[in-house]
Amino acid sequence: MLETQLAQIAWRDLARRAPIHTEMLRELTEVGLAPELAAEAVAALPAGMEITSARRLTIASIAQRVLVTGDRWLQEGGRIALVGPTGVGKSATLAKLAVRWVLLHGPRDLALIAGDSLRMGAQGELHSLGQLLGAPVYPLEDFGELRELIGRLDRRRLILIDTPGSSQRDAQLASRLAALAAAGPQLETALVLAASTQAGAVEEAVARFAPAHPASCVLTKVDEAASLGGALSVLMRSRLPISYVSEGQRVPEDLRPARALELVTSAVQLARTSGAAADEDLLKRRFGELAHALA
Ligand SMILES: Nc1nc2c(ncn2[C@@H]2O[C@H](COP(=O)(O)OP(=O)(O)OP(=O)(O)O)[C@@H](O)[C@H]2O)c(=O)[nH]1
Ligand SMILES: [Mg+2]
């Protein structure tokens, strides 16, 4: 009780001495940013700043911590396995990347690997896509054979690998992820994450797929997300760079290389348009203890 009261006093005191700092903490909480990241961004603000400059500076400092890879896959190619929970948009992302690649470079250097033998029709869909694009599609039943298959395709500049979606109860996940991690330094695993799911689910997926050592992630369903701050916080904390952002079902239009400032700005705008409001008690509890360090 005493702690709560002290936190309240500290918060009220901070609001009086540094109203811009408390206002920014409130706004970042509404964005869904994790408390420690919000506090860190706000602590860096100089005293006596105007709210509009404070907003701009805070957004820029958060954006600096959102890691992105740039348009590397579509410019240079690579061997990329898309992994992730069920239904997050792995196959749709693969299709967008494949079509984009063919529009940019033609089909000659592209190969697709149909590694999803679990979901009915998944391999068939990939074969149709390959046929449409004029690119070969190789079925893969056993991920232990992936390294050898990739070795055989060494003339292809871009190889995209579709994998089955995994729920928490997927018994084969561990062996599949181990096989991906062991498939050689050429292979890059990318974790596909839906921004429309809760931050907790994003965090759980990052932990569950860590054994595959993903080098980056694709953030999908940004168009359906009610808030982006939670997902961004998880990615900032785990230092997982974002490669591409998907914001709709259209192939290939709804995919773009991730840009940090754009993402943070969208997160802020989303909070504003959705009318998210931070609870006063929550703010006191979260930041009261930090208040003395902030002003
Ligand atoms: N609104 C929206 N829908 C998307 C996006 N990306 C994918 N989808 C849709 O989400 C659904 C699932 O996409 P898939 O690509 O099949 O997902 P998946 O991860 O391959 O699913 P599994 O292979 O079954 O695990 C499809 O209807 C896609 O069109 C996106 O960015 N926004
Ligand atoms: Mg799929």
Give the environment of ion ligand 2: residues with CB less than 5 A: 90-91
Q: What is the DSSP letter of 32?
A: T
Query: How far away, in angstroms, is 255 Cα from ligand 1 center?
Result: 12
Cis, peptide link before residue 185, omega less than 30° from 0: no
pLDDT at 3 over 90: no
Rounded mean pLDDT of the chain? 94
Identify the pLDDT of residue 159.
98
pLDDT tens-digit profile of 161-180? 999 998 778 888 999 999 99
User: Residues 261, 63: contact at Cβ < 8 Å?
Assistant: yes
Find tokens 């009915």 and name the residue.
120
Query: Average pLDDT for residues 79-88, to the nearest whole number?
Result: 97
Find tokens 């990329």 and name the residue.
80
pLDDT tens-digit profile of 61-78? 999 999 999 999 999 999
Q: Does the CB atom of residue 224 touch ligand 1 within 6 A?
A: yes
pLDDT tens-digit profile of 216-270? 999 999 999 999 999 999 999 999 999 999 999 999 999 999 999 999 999 999 9
Q: What is the pTM of this model?
A: 0.95
Identify the pLDDT of residue 292.
65
Q: Specify the amino acid at residue 176.
A: R
Q: Does the CB atom of residue 119 touch ligand 1 within 6 A?
A: yes
The ranges of the chain annotated as CATH 3.40.50.300 are 72-258
pLDDT at 295 over 60: no
Find tokens 């974002």 and name the residue.
242
CATH number assigned to the domain covering 72-258:
3.40.50.300
Identify the pLDDT of residue 93.
98
Query: How far away, in angstroms, is 246 Cα from ligand 2 center?
Result: 15
Q: Does the CB atom of residue 130 touch ligand 1 within 6 A?
A: no
pLDDT tens-digit profile of 123-169? 999 999 999 999 999 999 999 999 999 999 999 999 999 999 987 78
Q: Which atom of ligand 1 is nearest to the CA of 254?
A: 31
Cβ-Cβ contacts under 8 Å for 104 (sequence gap 6 or more): 74
